Amino acid sequence: MTICQFFLQGRCRFGDRCWNEHPGARGAGGGRQQPQQQPSGSNRRGWNTTSQRYSSVIQPSSFSKPTPWGGSRDQEKPSFSSFDSGASASRNRGFGLSENPFASLSSDGQKDEKKLLEGIVKDMEIWESSGQWMFSVYSPIKTKPNISGFTDISPEELRLEYHNFLTSNNLQSYLNSVQQLINQWRNRVNELKNINISTKVALVRHLLYVPCHIQKLNQAAPTFGFGSRQTTTFGSPGFPVNSSSSDNAQNFSFKTNSGFVPAPSGSPSGFRSPPAFGGVSSASSAISTSTPVFGFGKPEITSAASFSFKSPATSTFGSPGFSGFSASSAADPVRAPLAPAFGSVSSVAGFGSPGSHSYSAFSKPSNDTFGNSSIPTSLSVSNSIVATDNVLFTPKDKLTVEEVEQFQSKKFTLGK
């Protein structure tokens, strides 16, 4: 079951009647084992219905011939299973601990987590030593979402940028940008190779506790800061863009409804949901990564202060059948790649013109209207399963890292 975050704050008004788990209050009695309840359509969105055990999924980087990954994965939406075990992990532990479910995991959860992390470390080592293409997203296991901090740029895109720079005779800035991308990549890889506590926490949360498709929604298209353009999108106050506490500013940032050109591009967008008492519907965009915005101007830096409660998105998570993409046939609200442009305005990048779907990694969003409520709020709604559920509160897993931290801390420090 989901953990009731109101309870964690000490203010759950349903008390015993509450549908969510109150860890420590009643978890002791053997915890509620995951019954095969709610075969479908529960308002838990199928989290409890998974029959796939998490452990069967992990096959860290061992691509042996018949990879046992598959299972019957083709149709199934497996991502919830990970949540499930995560929840059970924290649930089992409930007794006697105060409201900090992330403090320790059950042994099961721990084992999985360990394997996952080992897999990641190994993959990072291979990635670095093998000379393979750097600008690629990465996911440790096929069912998991992409790990944040990596951008997906195809060689052709990079080459096109080169060609464009060539015509504008600005080769040096191209070289600089590429160098920055490389450095960014290297930093991220090193971070993942030498996993310290905070990276680990962030990774675990990202991979295990957040439903897969939400993650995918939040993967930003590569954002680069090239040239001297300020990445105003990230810099302005009140933007709910934070990097997760654990990662280095460069590599994580929480994307929110960026008020970008509400162009109907189908890119998965990340929405942040205000915490429950914001009283709005959910969609939490979990750790959305906007891919590394490089250093110009303000790299996304964290600070609780910059977090804002936006009016939010009804994010539709799409139907489980979609592997992580929301049925974004409707207008994409948000994410146009937040990339600040290359110094010289490339004619190719779809800047600013509203209808343009800035495709390229290097394009800059047209306006910095973050914080506007012109933010388109809905992904295609048709498959929304979520919207009505979380009117009152957002389940814990939907919160971003900072939000979670806030809820767990003694005092609410956001906005201070």
Partner 1 sequence: MSLFGTTSGFGTGGTSMFGSTTTDNHNPMKDIEVTSSPDDSIGCLSFSPPTLPGNFLIAGSWANDVRCWEVQDNGQTIPKAQQMHTGPVLDVCWSDDGSKVFTASCDKTAKMWDLNSNQAIQIAQHDAPVKTIHWIKAPNYSCVMTGSWDKTLKFWDTRSSNPMMVLQLPERCYCADVIYPMAVVATAERGLIVYQLENQPSEFRRIESPLKHQHRCVAIFKDKQNKPTGFALGSIEGRVAIHYINPPNPAKDNFTFKCHRSNGTNTSAPQDIYAVNGIAFHPVHGTLATVGSDGRFSFWDKDARTKLKTSEQLDQPISACCFNHNGNIFAYASSYDWSKVRIPRPALGAARQQSRALGWESIGLSCDSSPDSHHSFGQSPAHGKCPVSVSGHRLPCPWVQKDGQAGG
The footprint of partner 1 on residues 63-102 (CB under 8 A) is 63, 65-75, 78
Q: Which is nearer to partner 1, 141 or 276 (CB)?
A: 141
Q: Which range of residues in 41-49, 350-358, 396-404, 407-415 is near partner 1 by CB under 8 A?
A: 350-358
Site residues (CB under 8 A) for partner 1, limited to 325-344: 325-326, 328-330, 332
What is the x/- site pattern for partner 1, positions 216-235, by CB under 8 A?
Answer: x--x-x--------------
CB of 20 to partner 1, least distance (A): 29
Among 97, 121, 160, 381, binds partner 1 (CB under 8 A): 160
Among 95, 121, 322, 372, binds partner 1 (CB under 8 A): 322
**HSE of 409 in the Cβ direction (CA atoms, 13 Å)?**
11
CA atoms of 37 and 335, how far apart (whole Å) = 36
Site residues (CB under 8 A) for partner 1, limited to 257-296: 264-268
Q: Does 255 sit near partner 1 (CB under 8 A)? A: no
Q: Which is nearer to partner 1, 184 or 326 (CB)?
A: 326
Among 348, 385, 387, 414, binds partner 1 (CB under 8 A): 348
Residues 258 and 338: beta-carbon distance below 8 Å: yes
From residue 46, alpha-carbon distances to 171, 213, 315 in Å are 52, 13, 17
Q: Does 196 sit near partner 1 (CB under 8 A)? A: no
Q: Does 321 sit near partner 1 (CB under 8 A)? A: yes
The string of DSSP codes covering 303-369 is -GGG-------B-----TTSSS---TTS---S----PPPPSSPPSSS--S-TT----STT---S---
Residues 209 and 153: beta-carbon distance below 8 Å: no
Query: With contacts defined by CB under 8 A, how many residues of the chain interact with partner 1?
Result: 75
According to the 3-state scheme, what is the secondary structure of 104-124? CCCHHHHHHHHHHHHHHHHHH
What is the x/- site pattern for partner 1, positions 116-145, by CB under 8 A?
Answer: -------x--xx-xxxxxxxxxxxxxxx--
In the three-class reduction of DSSP (H, G, I as helix; E, B as strand; rest coil), residue 15 is classed as helix
**Which runs of consecutive H residues, i.e. helices, occur in 76-154?**
79-92, 107-130
CB of 10 to partner 1, least distance (A): 39
Q: Does 163 sit near partner 1 (CB under 8 A)? A: yes
Site residues (CB under 8 A) for partner 1, limited to 374-413: none
Among 10, 155, 197, 416, binds partner 1 (CB under 8 A): 155
CA atoms of 182 and 198, how far apart (whole Å) = 23
Q: Does 149 sit near partner 1 (CB under 8 A)? A: no
Q: What is the per-residue burial (b if ≥16 Cβ within 10 Å, else e) of 146-166?
A: bbbbbbbbeeebbebbeebbe
Q: Which range of residues in 97-105, 215-223, 232-240, 298-306 is near partner 1 by CB under 8 A?
A: 215-223
What Rg do the C-alpha atoms of the chain give, in angstroms? 21
